[in-house]
Structure 1
Amino acid sequence: MTRKEITNLRNIKWRTRRDLRITAEEDALDFIDDVGFCFAFASSGIIAGSRQLLTEATEDTFANNLLPSLWEAVCGVPGGIPAIHPHHDPYIGPVWGWKDALPLKRKVFYGKVLKQKPTFISLKMLPYFYALFGSPTPEEDYLEECQRGALGQEAKDIFECLLRSGSLPNTLLRGELGMLTKARKYRFQRAMTELQSTLRIVKVDVSDDGTIWNLFSRWMPGVIKAASRINRNEAMKNIVLAYISDLVIITPKMINRLFGWDAKVVEEIVQLLAQEDKVQLGVRIEGFQGNWIRKVV
């Protein structure tokens, strides 16, 4: 394959063409359902407007395009369009609205999951993510996870507060925990990211006091039930296949970089997919060294 071919296919999939750009909420939902999971805004390390140069990129830069993003699809341009006035930007504005509207209608999941960045996950893919990152009995095993260091103290306190009180907005939640001071704000935000990335809490509404949070287990118990029937290998295989569909062609290092999985585990999953004739290994990109992976059509 050539870099130009791959870039053209990515631009179609990611809607980073002006004739494919997203302009309505229903189109945003279709996009998230199509890609399975994406960032709300640009991938880390991507400078606005830079993705159109991928046909001339180095191998490392080419492989650094981690995920599509809703913002870039709204812009209809690879890398997005730099905002002159972020609070009144015609491209960022719709994304800010949809990141509230779509999750509140329970049409997608939204939270800081991948790379600790705001991430959309489609309802179809959500059970696979929960099978990996979530707990089958989150309201029962959090104490054990805290004891073995898998859950931080502040995260435990927040989880217990929501378990005890139900839905709470940011300000009241911080007040309940005595974390209203500026000095404790960072620790609160870090703990909230920890709970989101393990799918323990979820945004359920917005108010004048900020985002309203509740336990994921109360928001979508059906997802937890569906995830209980999925083993880790099956979850990883489906997530990797969706990732390859989005990126067209990837390397094991890209999987490791995005999901944080051990390199040995990534290799095992890739080999399983190859044995099932779902991916092709050893694909070459013209002008690049190394072997790449693509989905078998």
Structure 2
Amino acid sequence: MIDIEELRRRRFRNWRQDGERKVENPEQASAFIQEVGITTLYAASPEFPSLYQAHMGDPNPPNFASWDSPSGYVYTWRWELGRPHVAFYGVVVAKKPTWVAFDRLPTVLGALMERRTPKQLYAAGELSADAYRLAQAYEGTGGLLSTKELRARGGFEKGKESRAAYLKAVDELDARLWLAKRCGMEDGGDEMSHALVTAHYSDAASAAMKLDPVEALADLLAEVIRHSVYLDPKPISRHLRIRAQTFDASLLHLEDKGVAHRQIIGNRTLYIPPNC
């Protein structure tokens, strides 16, 4: 008989949400990212840990609106972790800021990054003109532009309407994992820069494109389940924005490799390692 509450306790222990080993500061946050491989800044999905929950040692911590609060303190980690560039930082889980350890990055990109080019998607009518123009703004650069530079090169002038169009275009590129964020690079400041993944992380992107998407996703899910103890396919497929056919094929890979097996608990179908 599977004890789901015991599995949850093990998950929260691994995610530092049991109150025993809180993530106290940016140095410990960096080590935690390397340990779990992928984590959001704040809670975004029940299937992934977050730095804020780990800092509070609680799966359901209170939220605060002030800067001089635990929420405000963790928010500053964007720069404390971004300046030394301890991990990849982009929109991965549930369209929220997510940290990915560099050694897991090829697998994450291989599983989740859009493989068609902006030109191909634009020609197919699946990418807006604004997003395509923003992607083209990186031509002739090293793949890293500040927000100010990106807006200027993309032709998004000052003004409320222009800013809204720019943010929408960025969202389109973020959602396809074509952009990543770099925080606080210039003179230790807090300016945000945007990296074109195929250029700024060219080695990881090149390695990712050599991977079969289904197998890469299976490897990603195997890595996730190693720390999360069990996997609930419904929220994880939704929060990673994975097509049903690809996700189902990856789950079959997990079962074929003996990494996890299906277990119906109540009205939920979970994937659990064989030693549970």
TM-score normalised by the chain length of structure 1: 0.80
Distance 1:20 1:42 in 2: 18
Cα distance change, pair 212–264 in 1 and its aligned pair in 2 (3 A): closer
In structure 1, the residue matched to 2:234 is: 253
Cα distance change, pair 216–103 in 1 and its aligned pair in 2 (3 A): farther
Larger fraction in helix: 1
1:116 maps to which of 95, 111, 127: 95
C-alpha displacement at 1:147, in angstroms? Answer: 0.9
Cα distance change, pair 293–205 in 1 and its aligned pair in 2 (3 A): closer
Matches within 5 A, 1:138-217: 141-165=117-141, 167-176=144-153, 177-206=155-184, 210-217=191-198
1:289 aligned partner, one-letter code: N
What does the per-residue CA deviation read over 1:73-111, in whole Å, with 9 as the maximum and x for residues that have no partner?
Answer: 11111122321x42221x223432322333443321111
C-alpha displacement at 1:72, in angstroms? Answer: 0.7
Instruction: Determine what percentage of the aligned residue pairs are the same residue.
Output: 22
1:27 aligned partner, one-letter code: Q
2:145 aligned partner, one-letter code: L
C-alpha displacement at 1:284, in angstroms? Answer: 4.2
- Residue 266 of structure 1 aligns to a residue whose secondary structure is helix
Matches within 5 A, 1:45-56: none
- Residue 132 of structure 1 aligns to a residue whose secondary structure is helix
Q: Which runs of structure 1 show a deviation greater than 6 angstroms over 4 or more consecutive aligned residues? A: none
Cα distance change, pair 276–178 in 1 and its aligned pair in 2 (3 A): closer
Cα distance change, pair 217–100 in 1 and its aligned pair in 2 (3 A): farther
- Residue 103 of structure 2 aligns to a residue whose secondary structure is coil
1:98 aligned partner, one-letter code: W
User: What is the root-mean-square deviation of aligned Cα atoms in Å?
Assistant: 2.5
1:240 maps to which of 193, 217, 221: 221
In structure 2, the residue matched to 1:87 is: 67
Cα distance change, pair 4–223 in 1 and its aligned pair in 2 (3 A): same
In structure 2, the residue matched to 1:15 is: 16
- Residue 138 of structure 2 aligns to a residue whose secondary structure is helix
Is the counterpart of residue 222 in structure 1 residue 203 in structure 2?
yes
Distance 1:35 1:187 in 2: 35
Cα distance change, pair 214–250 in 1 and its aligned pair in 2 (3 A): closer
Distance 1:165 1:37 in 2: 29
Distance 1:199 1:224 in 2: 10
- Residue 66 of structure 1 aligns to a residue whose secondary structure is coil
In structure 2, the residue matched to 1:49 is: none
C-alpha displacement at 1:236, in angstroms? Answer: 0.7
Q: 1:174–1:188: 8 Å Cα contact kept in structure 2? A: yes
Distance 2:114 2:244 in 1: 23
Cα distance change, pair 209–237 in 1 and its aligned pair in 2 (3 A): closer
Q: Which runs of 5+ in 1 are unaligned?
A: 45-64
Distance 2:162 2:93 in 1: 24
C-alpha displacement at 1:7, in angstroms? Answer: 2.2
Cα distance change, pair 291–212 in 1 and its aligned pair in 2 (3 A): closer
Q: 1:132–1:235: 8 Å Cα contact kept in structure 2? A: yes
Q: 1:68–1:246: 8 Å Cα contact kept in structure 2? A: no
Compare 11-20 and 1-10 and name the one that shifted more. Answer: 1-10
